[in-house]
Structures are given as structure tokens and as C-alpha cells.
Amino acid sequence: MDNPPELDGRVAVVTGGTRGVGAGIVRAFLRAGAEVVVCARRPPDAPVEVAGRKAEFVPVDLRDGDAVRAFFARVATDYGRLDALVNNAGGTPYRPLSAADANRHARVLELNLTAPLIASLTAYEVMTARQGPEGAGPEGAGGSITMIGSVSGSRPSPGTAAYGAAKAGLEHLARSMAVEWAPAVRVNTLVLGMVRTELSHLHYGDEEGVAAVGRTVPLGRLAEPEEIGEVAVFLASDRAAYISGASLLVHGGGERPAFLDAANADRTD
């Protein structure tokens, strides 16, 4: 007999899960048996679904604290529980620091750091509020929160400096949450490298450009969104029950150091 999907009966929220990496995460959670609720400012062009199972979409501006609290209250009412939150929403345009004022850069920080903080605080309340029979105490209360970080948070990010700073802060925030909220809620970060999405051409150019960029990665290609989703499912599952406060690199081996190709030393010996 086949084992049931590992997240069967569980409820997950994926922020910004309408396209790209977020949609890949949503599909992985659906495939694992979870009920998935997606929130973002704009609806997807088509419902995110796998094998006839669809994610519910709710429009939310994640920078609006009142709207976020109302959203999670709706999830609690409609589903009776919340087991996993994936803070995926974020992003930034290419913008050198001197090309914009501080307020414009602050908006990047707000979306990529403050918004996940607001969502996590509210999700924590829902995850830990579930009661047992007759309100006698917690029954299975708790859950998993996963931040979607970036290698930009640990290396120079010219053109996306505010984004890199936010991702660095997000990773530190996750570690602090993991300590404060243990043992009820586990908090981890997926530190992503380059992922092939429908917007890759904006960053890397045509197919030849995408392939050329992929060759700079030790594994020889960009990640696919579903591959990120599978790791997110793992962190939300019982298989990761002893993993909290961790930063898991999902970057195909990282970046080949530039000095290796610039040096002219004789390596034949």
C-alpha cells in the first residue's frame, strides 16, 4: 500500500505564490497533500493547481498589517488550523543605490523584511492557538515557518543592495524566531541561488543568455521552481522535525570564484 502524501490534512499559506518560485512551492505542497492558500496583491492568470487540486487565492497587500491579520483570521475560520507558512513574496527591480532616494529603497526593505515579519507574527498566533477537546489545551498546536532567502543576503548585490540587506535581515530574523518560538514553531530559511522562472529573461536575456548564466553554476543550470518547492515541503514535514534555525543553501553549488578564471598560474603540476 502506498503511503499517504506527507502533508495530507495540513494547511499551508504561501505568500506571493501566484507565479515563479512561489507557484512552484504551491504545486509541491498540493502534490504533498496539503490544503494551500495563496495570498498576493494580484490574482494569478490561472489558478495554481496540480492533478485537479487547486490552491485558494486571497488578495492581500502584505505590507498592510490589518489586512494580513484579517487574512490569517479568515484562514483560521475557514480551515480550523494553520500548519505551515512560506514567506515567499518579495523581489526588487534593478536599481543602483544612487539612482533613487532612501524612501524608494525603504519600500524594498518593507516588502522583503517587514512584510514577512508581520505575516510570521500573525501566523504564530494562529499556529499556537489551536485547542484540544473542550478547550483543555493545545492539541497538535504548532507548525513550520519558512523564509525564502537569497544568496544576495550574503554577498555584494550591486543594483539590488536594499534587497540583499533585507534578505540578510530575514535570515537573522528567522534564527531569532526559531529560538523564541521553540518548541512549538520551527523557523528556517531557504537561501536560494538563481531560479529559472517566466521572468528570467528580464535578468539574463534570451535562452542563450539563460543558458550562459546557468553554466556559471557548478551544477550547470538554474534551479526549477518545483525543485525549490520540494525542499520547502521537506522543511514543513515531519522529516524535518529537528530542523529549526537553519539556513539551507539551495544554489546548485554556488558561484565559481572569479579569481580561478582570472589567474594565469601554471596548474599543470
**What is the β-pairing status of strands 56-59 and 35-40?**
parallel
pLDDT of residue 183: 96
The percentage of residues in the chain with a pLDDT greater than 90, rounded to a whole number, is 74
Instruction: Give the CA-trace dihedral at 235, 236, 242, 245, to 10 degrees.
Output: 60
pLDDT (mean) for 1-15: 84
163 included as an active-site residue: yes
Express each pLDDT in 63-103 by its tens digit.
999 999 999 999 999 999 999 999 999 999 999 999 999 99
Q: Would you say residue 246 has pLDDT above 80?
A: yes
Strands 84-87 and 49-50 turn out to be unpaired
Give the percent of the chain with pLDDT over 70: 91
How many other β-carbons are positioned within 10 Å of the β-carbon of residue 66?
9
Q: Give residue 76's Cα distance to chain centre.
A: 21
Query: Over 90: is that where the pLDDT of 253 sits?
Result: no
Is 258's pLDDT higher than 90? no
| Residue among 79, 94, 124, 163 flagged as catalytic | 163
pLDDT digits (tens, 9 = 90+) for 139-180: 557 999 999 999 999 999 999 999 999 999 999 999 999 999
What is the per-residue pLDDT for 227? 95
Residue 195 is given by DSSP the state B
pLDDT tens-digit map of 23-36: 999 999 999 999 99
Ranges of beta strands (E only) in the chain are: 11-15, 35-40, 49-50, 53-54, 56-59, 84-87, 143-150, 185-192, 247-250
pLDDT of 199 over the 70 cut: no
Residue 216's pLDDT is 78
Mean pLDDT over all residues of the chain?
Answer: 90
137 pLDDT band (50/70/90 cuts)?
A: very low
* Banded pLDDT at 122 (limits 50, 70, 90): very high
More confident: 257 or 117: 117
Residue type present at position 260: L
By C-alpha distance, which of 112, 231, 102, 118 is closest to 167?
112
pLDDT at residue 132 tops 90: no
Confidence check: pLDDT of 135 > 70: no
First and final C-alpha spacing in the chain: 57
